[in-house]
Chains A and B, each alone.
Chain A
Amino acid sequence: MQNAAMNIEDKGGDQLVLHVGPQHPGSGHFRIIVTVDGDYIVGAKPDPGYVHRGAEKMAEYRDYIQNIPHLERPVIIDATGVTLPYVLTAEKIIDVEAPDRAQYIRMIMAELNRIISHLYWLGIYGIFLGHSTMFMWPMGDRELFIDLAESIGGTRVTFSYVVPGGVRNDMPTNFKERALKTFDYFEKRIEEYKKIFFNNPLMSARTEGIGTMDKKDAIRLGITGSNLRACGIDSDTRKDETYCLYDRVDFEIPTRKEGDSYARCIVRLEELQQSMNIMKQVFDLIEPGPIKQVIGGVMRGEPGEAFVRTEAARGTMFYHIVSDGEKNPYRVKISVPSFRNLIGMTHLLVGSRLADMPAIYWSLDYWPVEADR
């Protein structure tokens, strides 16, 4: 209680310490302690951990199947993105492999989730820049993709759909037609987004040249995902370390050279199109067949360890599982992209104006729940 009462602190001179969050329209479940000198930020100290729920420790009490639901809660916005690397790692430990059809359905779900997550991000970014229309449009279009994902996974956001050995159930028969109809509609919408938001002079004035990240700094600080690609580095785990069947589809990695907030936005917008392209190709490649390799009895891992890196919506998601041959994993280590982007946020905030803080903060697509685990 004592430290909660302290919100503004006088550092002497012209400097003032401001606590932004956790009850703040912009911060979410996160606090950042900024030192301002006039209008400029001279120091930024992040204070994460408001949603630390001990997912890694809890994973040690549960067996491989029971772990799936609670490991997807850190990023329910991108549920398949966070459970897929866990399942791929568990498959290495348990020594099973999913059939081709299951791999393709996993790819569809992962890409659908990427779109859902990016659209949520875009809606909130609109609010951050004071653009209410840009909240309403992506949130409305997001529901269409949620409907698609719901028809496969069964629930709105938390599917627990990917399991070791395959996927839980097959996708509906008319899924391809429904999906293609939605994509046709959404491709037109992307042009409208550009008209109202991305080519809007107010939007570019607030984001262009704001929070510019250098290419070298991005590598030094370990930035991942779209934030790294916005700095001109075409790194994508889907191509670098292929998993599922991403090597059979052809897609581009959108990059920008500028590394500012605008570049990060436009990279994410182009990723929406690429995700749809991937799914269209998967619809042509997918063939009827089994969706699951049935594992008899309780899953037990071989003693040993395994790790898998995948590309989630926010960047590289990394799982490391150590097994001692029991039905529970001995240790599950999750390395999440948001936590690494947090380091970049501190780097970007220092030297910028206080008014630019929302534009920088949310352009990194920092999701506090994911970072805290």
Chain B
Amino acid sequence: MVNDPTLNLLVGKASDILDNTLEKNVREPIRFLVNWGRLYSLWPVHLETACCSIEFGAASGPRHDVERFGMLEAFGSLRQCDVLVVQGTVTRKMAPRMKWVYEQMPEPKWVIAMGACAISGGLYMDSYNVLQGVDKIVPVDVYIPGCPPRPETLIQGIIELQNKIRKSKV
């Protein structure tokens, strides 16, 4: 009976239908809800690594105001944060600290590499004390170019990160 090809086909079809129904009516709404919850309540870690931090500060200011896009100002404990914005150059001395901060953050977590130095060393490509790109030690989700990036560029990077979160699996 098990070897009956017609029945096998039937069982296969039924499981497909069941799976599709589950996907459409249960998993997708849950995924949407969870992602939607994460999307607009991003908490950045306050880890300034170099000079891009002033444009990060300006982005929190009244003219640019990242908060209206669902990213808070950088205050509070890293135990409740989920975004690590690497604000510029990471030196040899800062690199282990940054990795340590990243490891302490709870899941899910995302990393934004802000500025040319964080992406690839940038202006400091031949400096003896600069890490050539932070993606060597932490996984990076969004790269924001610029030296330093304008606050508008930072906001665009945050929106890109939100698009990524929206599509992510739970």
Interface residues of A (CB under 8 A from B): 1, 4-5, 22-25, 28-29, 49-54, 57-58, 61, 69-70, 73-77, 120, 123-124, 135-136, 139-140, 142-143, 156-158, 369
Chain B interface, >50% SS class: loop
Complex CA distance for A343 and B29, rounded to whole angstroms:
58
| Binary CB contact string for chain B from 50 to 78 against chain A (1 if under 8 A, 0 otherwise) | 11011101101111000000000011101
Complex CA distance for A1 and B49, rounded to whole angstroms:
17
List, sorted by A's number, 19 A–B pairs whose CB atoms are closer than 8 Å. Answer: A1-B100, A22-B47, A22-B94, A23-B46, A23-B97, A23-B101, A25-B74, A29-B53, A51-B50, A54-B127, A54-B129, A73-B123, A76-B54, A76-B148, A77-B51, A136-B61, A139-B58, A142-B61, A158-B147
Chain A residues with CB under 8 Å of B91's CB are 49-53
Which of B54, B126, B148 makes the CB contact (< 8 A) with A120? B54
Chain B residues with CB under 8 Å of A58's CB are 124, 126-127
Which of A25, A136, A140, A156 makes the CB contact (< 8 A) with B55? A156
Complex CA distance for A51 and B97, rounded to whole angstroms:
12
Complex CA distance for A7 and B127, rounded to whole angstroms:
29
Report how many A-B pairs have Cβ atoms within 8 Å: 106
Chain A residues with CB under 8 Å of B55's CB are 156-157
Which of B50, B78, B130, B150 makes the CB contact (< 8 A) with A23? B78
Q: Say yes or no: B61 contacts A139, CB within 8 Å.
A: yes
Which of A5, A23, A50, A124 makes the CB contact (< 8 A) with B57? A124
Q: Say yes or no: B96 contacts A51, CB within 8 Å.
A: no
Query: Cβ of B135 < 8 Å from any Cβ of A?
Result: no
Given A139-B57, A139-B58, A143-B61: A50 and B150 within 8 A (CB)?
Answer: no
Interchain nearest-CB distance for A323 vs B (Å): 21
Which of B74, B94, B101, B123 makes the CB contact (< 8 A) with A69? B123
Interchain nearest-CB distance for B66 vs A (Å): 12
Interface size class of B (residues with CB under 8 A): 35 or more
Interface residues of B (CB under 8 A from A): 45-51, 53-55, 57-58, 60-63, 74-76, 78, 89, 91, 93-94, 96-97, 99-101, 123-124, 126-130, 147-148, 150
Interchain nearest-CB distance for B52 vs A (Å): 9
Chain A residues with CB under 8 Å of B58's CB are 139, 142-143
Q: Say yes or no: B63 contacts A369, CB within 8 Å.
A: no
Chain A residues with CB under 8 Å of B51's CB are 51, 73-77, 369
Closest 3 CB pairs of A and B: A139-B61, A140-B62, A54-B127
Q: Say yes or no: B127 contacts A23, CB within 8 Å.
A: no
Chain A residues with CB under 8 Å of B147's CB are 158
Complex CA distance for A162 and B39, rounded to whole angstroms:
43
Interchain nearest-CB distance for A98 vs B (Å): 25
Chain A residues with CB under 8 Å of B45's CB are 23
